[in-house]
Structure 1
Amino acid sequence: MSESLLARHRAAMPSWLALYYDEPIEIVSGRGRHVTDSAGNTYLDFFAGVLTNAIGYDIAEISDAIRRQVDSGVLHTSTLYLIRKQVELAERIGELSGMANPKVFFTNSGTEANETALMLATQYRRSHQVLALRNSYHGRGFGALGVTGNRGWSASALSPFEVSYVQGGYRYRSPFRNLSDADYIAACVEDLREVIETTTSGDVACMIAEPIQGVGGFATPPDGLFGAFAEVLEEYGILLISDEVQTGWGRTGEHFWGIQAHGVTPAAMTFAKGLGNGLAIGGVVAEAELMDCLTANSISTFGGNPISTGGAAAALEYLLDNDLQGNAAKLGGRLLDGLRAHAERCGLIGDVRGKGLMIGVELVEPGTRTPSAAAAGRVMELAKERGLLLGKGGLYGNVLRLAPPMTLTEDEAGQALQIITETTSLAEQELHR
């Protein structure tokens, strides 16, 4: 059946729509942190639908909230009408944002959220100049692709923006990588100032940045980098947009929002993925002056619909009530410690980085920094055979991405660590005999 479905997929879907594994799987059911495919194989899911199933599978509190809305008979009304769950969720996110006077606009995805934030910033500043980071990814919309600093995910050189890219997000391959944290930040700040003064006219609309670069391989800069950037941006009146699509909702463990590690509150934050635990929802939370700057009419037909906001509200309260941020910090620390200890014995691992349950393992040719996409692909296949699903990313497709549901247990963390340790060692033996 899976072979037939694969053939139909290839005939009906775009050739550029990537599938994992030599033999792609169809996931048909899930419970907790485990999923089952159409052949009856069960896996521990360590990628969670690209960080989206943040709570896990078959969570009664979330499913019940969705069923209640379905049972009402109203699946959709549009933002032309009042939606109680939308208003309540916006109020809750505003409270959690740390902003002085926040307002929230809901979308269907992280891409739409970033498109909206960029529209707001460029309108507010009356400038189409944007600063972004090298190795960044912000979505597949025309504007979002225009500010993506990762050639592997930027399908077009056309853009509605004038974009200048700065150093800082991806330390492992940076020319400043051997500097101390303080000196690294200072060098990146100097680069930022030079980029503003030499490649822009000064009246830049905004900088958009991921606190941890997701598609870029969970590249993690030193704490304080974006706080230092913000001081320079403020001199020029440039707004800071934090792309929290992957780092939001406590996934990094130490903070609820990734940008909080840098001691700064941005003008706007975008969000999506984990908020809906699988439902299609995204949005922007921004200071009211910025959010209200549009003068033309605008709505969102599907954004913030009753089902997505009802389910997201239940997911958010479950996350907060069960301290999943604390669980991410605890088990993420255990995984990072174990992986870093293994990296000292495994030449295939060039770098282990991340925070909480957002961990990147960069694979290289042993003894070098040369990226090894083949190793990443092989480890993923070996892990799948042992019942573990991993993600992959990075500029060169050589970074294993670990981002399980935040309800992960101690036993499951230990199981995953054992499988990753085993499979990276085996892949090193196979590829470098």
Structure 2
Amino acid sequence: MKKKFRDFSSAASVYSCMIIGLSTLVSLPVLADMKPSEQTMKIAYVATYNPHGEGVYLMKVDEKDGSLTTDKLVSSIPNAAQLVLDKDSNHLYVASEVDNYNDGTHGSITAYAINKTDGSLKKLNEVDSQGAGPVYLSIHPDGEYLFVANYISGSIASFPIERDGKLGRPTSVKQSSGEPGAAKPEAAVAGSFAASDHDGPHAHMVDSDPSGQFIYSTDLGLDRIYQWRVDHATGVISANNQPFIPASSPGAGPRHFVFHPQNKHVYLINEESSTLTSYLMDQESGKLTQQQTLSSLPNGYKGTSFASGIVLGKDARHLYVANRLHNSISQFNINENGSLTLADNVWTRGDYPRTIVISPDGQSLYAMNQRSDNITQFNIDPSSGKLTFTDRFTPVGSPSQMVFVSDGR
């Protein structure tokens, strides 16, 4: 981009330029003495689907209002739709949601080192995801293992994270099997034709509980929530005493879930039925017990919709759920006993919100609108949790996910 310079024609202007130049020279040692964290800009990465999206994009994040500016493409691996950062934001892991990596039948995961000065990425290594269509990545709380859910093949796997950020050989690969779930979601609203992929195993998410003792994975195709244990020393995953529990209703299609940091509940969104289910987690055994199920859609809605994203507010008093086709975000208040109450529903201002994320300061929520090729931003009321659209659209082709880089402050 060409820079524009003013034409200083007067003596006063020339004098001013000399003063500015001298002051800049004086300030250089000050800049040199700044700590790295003070020089670091706020950045985020957005994952996308081809062909509208070309890979992973770097975003600049305004610290005052949370607005986004697309900076540059930093990874062009195909269908780079899934991301996760390590706990110190030094490394980024990107899953290529394909089924033909290296002319085989699996997807891939690439490890990158992050340059926090300019956000550029340095490729460290690339591994086979141990299944087709890797749709979710997560990292164990101790930071030593990465987990992946492979949707197309229905498998999950664990990989050690080496000291330099590279991924090692897989320590576990678990393949789901069993009878597919009901073709039509029993708990869907009237008029819904939301029925897909109940034709075999389809792992949709895998993640560890906050303690790091237990691993859970959802299988949309088999209508199951799997319960696992993980060995901290080896990263080996093994079935818990009760290997899995059924979905909250036939054909529900379990998708994504979040852990509440205080009330021992797990909240899970069911894609096909567009329902939200709460589970009480036994801290000793890891067993989940179903508590409450309610629609993720506003009262009175009839027709087809697919629930997608789920995220907890920073204060863990509010829960937000994205609804595709209805193109909305539902806000739920979390009561002291862990139960949920629908509080509000707002239009995303985009089409097909795949995921929703909240900024690290808890002040903004962003919707990744896959079909309208944009990200929309909402302010979060610190007291009520209510969402208010900011009138900000960020153009991005087929956005899937966004992660914010910690700058160490």
Q: Check whether TM > 0.5.
A: no
The two structures have a TM-score, normalised by structure 1, of 0.28
Choose between structure 1 and 2: higher helix proportion: 1
Choose between structure 1 and 2: higher strand proportion: 2
